[in-house]
Chain A
Amino acid sequence: AQSVTQLGSHVSVSEGALVLLRCNYSSSVPPYLFWYVQYPNQGLQLLLKYTSAATLVKGINGFEAEFKKSETSFHLTKPSAHMSDAAEYFCAVSPNYGGSQGNLIFGKGTKLSVKP
């Protein structure tokens, strides 16, 4: 079964510092991979997705992620944190074959805090 592990339930950075949120997946076949952001009392918003095209994926709000098959990783980065980036971030995997194709399997999330 596919699964997602997000290292660090809480990450704190200073404004202007690099943001690095880690995500590793478990799958025998490279799946589709997603990063979503959730602000308090709101639904999830897609940041970016990998669907077997370019391994470096650029998303909204200056975020990007790199698919590394050898490391089964899909870490999310942003060069310079902004106060408005404070939120919870979820990595998700979706099988690209079979009856579960399209179903999202989420990690437990990483809460990002940004200090002034």
Chain B
Amino acid sequence: EAGVVQSPRYKIIEKKQPVAFWCNPISGHNTLYWYLQNLGQGPELLIRYENEEAVDDSQLPKDRFSAERLKGVDSTLKIQPAELGDSAVYLCASSLETSSETQYFGPGTRLLVL
């Protein structure tokens, strides 16, 4: 079974530029999560989707961050414009449902903003 796929794995951009990350969850997983992981910290939830609906985006900085999951399968997270402080690892995870279901994580996209 294929795991959670993320691309790109690494991205270097200059500040004020836009950037997008893509995630394809495990087949059949209805719930998709985007997490932000700063260096030396644990992941922090940005947004959670159940199918195509964003059911929890309370931690998403909406002035510059946006996300979509149009067909309830793969998802895109965008930052526009990027700031130096956005340098981090962006992790995508998926699970069958929410509640106590195990979340399966992708390898992440490491972003460096110069």
Binding site for B on A (CB under 8 A): 4, 9, 32, 36, 41-46, 49, 51, 90, 92, 94, 96, 99-109
Task: Assess the A45–B105 pair: CB atoms within 8 A.
Answer: yes
Chain B residues lying within 8 Å of A45, measured Cβ to Cβ, are 105
Contact A94 B100 (CB under 8 A): yes
Of B11-19, B37-45, B77-85, the stretch lying at the interface with chain A is: B37-45
- Tell me if B25 is interfacial: C-beta within 8 Å of chain A: no
Q: Which residues of A contact B93 (CB under 8 A)?
A: 43-44
The 8 Å CB contact of A108, one of B31, B40, B110, is: B40
Which interface residue of B31, B44, B95, B99 has the most chain A CB atoms within 10 A? B99
| Overall SS of chain A's interface | loop
- How many residues of chain B are within 8 Å of chain A by beta carbon? 28
Indicate whether B91 reaches chain A with its CB closer than 8 angstroms. Answer: yes
Residue of A nearest to B45 (CB): A103
CB–CB B48/A103 < 8 A: yes
Residues in B lying within 8 Å of A, measured CB to CB? 4, 31, 33, 40-45, 48, 55-56, 91, 93, 95, 97-108, 110
Q: A43-B93, A99-B56, A109-B42 are in contact. List 13 more A-B contacts (CB 8 A).
A: A32-B100, A42-B107, A43-B4, A43-B105, A43-B107, A45-B105, A90-B42, A102-B31, A103-B33, A103-B45, A103-B56, A104-B43, A109-B40
Complex interface: chain B residues within 8 A of A103 (CB)? 33, 45, 48, 56
Closest to B91 in A: A43
CB distance from B29 to the nearest CB of A (A): 12
Q: Are A96 and B4 in contact (CB under 8 A)?
A: no
CA distance A109 to B42 in the complex (A): 6
